[in-house]
Structure 1
């Protein structure tokens, strides 16, 4: 059988790094998208090569349809298939801004970067997955996103991600007959230096916002991605899966 291919959006830095390493351990070929982080992308490619993983580094802005089409074309030219799409990319700004204080550009960046980008990518990838007989799509939200919470000062980001919940669930229903599952991971507030860290690095560290006591890590997220990507996870679709350590956005978020 041909080796399966996973495309990780925004995979060169942050949570995407441990996701890439986790899928590499599962034997996937990896297409890693980055927008500006070329040095980090090259370093990740080197690390993946040491793991025996074949990877393709793709520069592009997934909020731009032309870039999405180009990257899909490059993956298909190289490997002829896309089996898993992991939508890790999505801008967030740690600066509280009242909704009516948002500029047009700030609004578009949040909506296009977190919602339209997923639409562009799935519209290109799903026809390929249908022809292949199935696939896995994994989107990303935030703690409590499926209850459409108010998030004062971050309304554009919250609106985009809440919209993504509905898109995720709608796609899950539409694509189930084709063997394609669509699920969302809702991470807790995982921050540097733990985004690119294994779980072992967080052992013994304290995070008072987490009910389990320790900080969350990129590996915590990567383990769930690996599970959802597995062929035997085909009974799970349309799910919003919290990976938060008990973090509660409305109670625990620190600006």
Structure 2
């Protein structure tokens, strides 16, 4: 779904460099936007290469480990469970709220988020940081849907549905930065916004500083994402 859906949208609606629009759309409005610009042809079968790669990998897992869904069942080691569509976003908000209360209390005696072990201040900081990435990701998803071709937005939304529907108990938004960093339409949208507001240099400098902080933490054996 992650690859097939946006590929199918590009095939039917564009933008495409290999051919001009073949179907005249009726008028304007939402009905026109739902009408495909390109006809479905036999060459659409090439799109099946995307799920074929997954099928080949599942076949390998079945032969090597007797579990074609090992990539899914292994998520249990990270305590990931299905929490409903976007259920992880709500759990991330709850964890961030508990984290804010923990830091504002200034005390480690009362633990506000008990699903995770370790230093409650560090847990609180992690959950707040991850919620910041969530806020950025959701804002960017809306921006991509508004400014870029719809297929790009579909790719971002579909990709975010996975981590936001399968949260980890001790850290609901665990690994969200890594899920975000590969979503290239997000950075296309960010570049548009930065250029329009003439803040590209400031954002690049801020990103470099944050990168340096994360590298320092990683080098010190701290969990970053």
More strand by share: 1
Computing the radius of gyration from Cα coordinates, the structure with the larger value is 2
TM-score, normalization by structure 1: 0.25
Query: TM-score w.r.t. structure 2 length?
Result: 0.27
- Greater fraction helix: 2
